[in-house]
Copies of this chain bind each other. A is one copy, B any other.
Amino acid sequence: MNIPNSVNPRIVIIGGGFAGIALARKLKNKNVQVVLLDKHNYHNFQPLLYQVATGGLEAGSIAYPIRKVIQEYNDFYFRLTSVQEIDTKNQKIIAEIGELSYDYLIIATGSKTNYFGNKEIERNSMGMKTIPQSLNIRSLILENFEQAVLTTDVAERNSLINFVLVGGGPTGVELAGALAEMKKAILQKDYPDLDIDKMEINLIQSGDRILNTMSEKSSIAAEKFLDNLGVKIWKNVRVTNYDGRTITTNSDLTFETGTVIWTAGVQGALVAGLDAKSLVEKVERIRVNEYSQVIGYDNIFAIGDIALMENENYPQGHPMMAQPAMQQGKLLGKNIIKLIRKQPMEAFEYNDKGSMATIGRNKAVVDLPKYHFSGVFAWFVWMFVHLFSLIGFKNRAVVFLNWVYNYIRFDREGRLIIRPFKKKSFTTFTSDEV
């Protein structure tokens, strides 16, 4: 892989998400050689992907070049590649661009959409875990509207502007709210020849409340906010299939729709090669101890969504969110140096700062560890927390400017269909995983 030899021990990090970047920053100029691998050349701020998908922000505003993060780090290398396999016996990784040996390996590959084995749903619906996927969702929404104005078949037209979001977690809820805003702010004005009342936003949740990782108060508030925005919430409904045209469920309920966005589950983005004992089936996460060490290995670690650290408070591991990932990355940065110096490592303790979700134009729900609030003030809190979590001054300024503009003008100008538009036969909506 053309990495220079070094007197320093080599630490290989797979993944430049929240966990990987937090770790990398802690390893700056610490007499270690670090090689950071990612299949994208940028870190992306996943919590705002839904705004890229709905035209509120440009992709560049929520992404940050990885090479820029590490610009002044010594003995620090970035390589753009996916990783196929870990050869634990020979202590090397096998990547698309070649092999690389490691002294310490950190797996921070994050998570991907979980279709629970249903290939037909996977083929016909859209996931939203990456920037290219978000841009594809944006294009698909607008393409469907362009297609809808062309057709004289009422059933087809309604189906094209019927949106179904499967999964009532934060991503589904925030996307539903943003779509409702997009409907009022843009689509109604841009497509005067369509009957916008026919545009439906359906949010399907298999459990009995949305945002079920948050407090019950938040669930109730979020439902009310979504209801006010005209989003239809279907609870206790489980999607059984989607053939590109019709969603079937575990009840008689069906949906005719051209756009299904699937946020109903995530699973670890595993790299092959670890011992089966180290893995947790179904969720595809990697079992780690309190030092983020992968069970069964001394010099392999996993952090972020991919890692499952069992403990009393979190018997099924920490939530797959930015906060635990960043905290694990930070601590591991210290611990690896301690390990190298043969000092005892520090056990991870998750500092739960709370969670929040925004709904539509100016509402949010916020759960702090001992306090819950919702509404416009919660939205202000949401906005500033997200603004200051972005990397880079310029991104913050541009995002802020966009939000102010969008808010004042009731507009979202990010509506370029960048991929080529082809008039499609109705049944060939395809997602385009990148």
Residues of B within 8 A of A392 (CB): 413
The answer to whether residues A64 and B418 also contact, given A80-B146, A150-B1 and a CB cut-off of 8 A, is: no
Does A314 have its Cβ within 8 Å of any Cβ on chain B? no
Q: How far, in Å, is A381 (CB) from chain B's closest CB?
A: 25
Residues of B within 8 A of A71 (CB): 189-190
Residues of B within 8 A of A59 (CB): 58, 416, 418
Residues of B within 8 A of A405 (CB): 393-394, 397
Report which residue of A4, A65, A405 has the largest number of chain B beta carbons within 10 angstroms of its beta carbon.
Answer: A65
* A96 to B421 Cα, complex, angstroms: 10
Does A26 have its Cβ within 8 Å of any Cβ on chain B? no
Does A207 have its Cβ within 8 Å of any Cβ on chain B? no
* B67 x A191 contact (CB < 8 A): yes
* A13 to B92 Cα, complex, angstroms: 60
Residue-wise interface mask of A (118-132) relative to B, using a CB-CB cutoff of 8 A (1 in contact, 0 not): 000000000000011
* A398 x B394 contact (CB < 8 A): no
Residues of B within 8 A of A420 (CB): 132, 434
Selected contact of A150 from candidates B2, B394, B411, B418, CB within 8 Å: B2
Q: How far, in Å, is A329 (CB) from chain B's closest CB?
A: 22
* B414 x A60 contact (CB < 8 A): yes
Residues of B within 8 A of A418 (CB): 59, 131-132, 135, 434
Does A197 have its Cβ within 8 Å of any Cβ on chain B? no
Residues of B within 8 A of A295 (CB): none
Does A321 have its Cβ within 8 Å of any Cβ on chain B? no
* A394 x B413 contact (CB < 8 A): yes
Binds B, one of A36-44, A167-175, A354-362, A365-373: A36-44
* A402 to B420 Cα, complex, angstroms: 28
For this complex, into which size category does the number of interface residues on chain A fall? 35 or more
Residue-wise interface mask of A (77-98) relative to B, using a CB-CB cutoff of 8 A (1 in contact, 0 not): 1011100000000000000111
Does A152 have its Cβ within 8 Å of any Cβ on chain B? yes
Does A61 have its Cβ within 8 Å of any Cβ on chain B? yes
* B397 x A65 contact (CB < 8 A): no
Residue-wise interface mask of A (400-412) relative to B, using a CB-CB cutoff of 8 A (1 in contact, 0 not): 0110010001010
Selected contact of A98 from candidates B63, B97, B150, B419, CB within 8 Å: B150
Q: How far, in Å, is A367 (CB) from chain B's closest CB?
A: 33
Residue-wise interface mask of A (149-166) relative to B, using a CB-CB cutoff of 8 A (1 in contact, 0 not): 111100000000000000
Residues of B within 8 A of A4 (CB): 193
Does A395 have its Cβ within 8 Å of any Cβ on chain B? yes
Q: How far, in Å, is A34 (CB) from chain B's closest CB?
A: 13
Does A196 have its Cβ within 8 Å of any Cβ on chain B? no
Q: Which of A96-126 contact B (CB under 8 A)?
A: 96-98
Known: A42-B417, A80-B146. 13 other contacts (CB 8 A): A2-B150, A41-B416, A41-B421, A59-B416, A60-B416, A68-B415, A79-B149, A79-B150, A393-B405, A394-B401, A394-B402, A418-B434, A419-B434
A sample of 24 inter-chain contacts (CB < 8 A) reads A1-B150, A2-B149, A2-B150, A58-B60, A59-B416, A60-B414, A60-B416, A63-B416, A65-B190, A65-B415, A67-B191, A68-B190, A68-B413, A79-B150, A80-B146, A80-B417, A81-B423, A97-B423, A394-B409, A397-B405, A398-B398, A398-B401, A418-B434, A419-B434
9 closest A-B pairs by CB: A67-B190, A58-B60, A80-B146, A58-B58, A394-B405, A65-B415, A42-B416, A41-B417, A71-B189
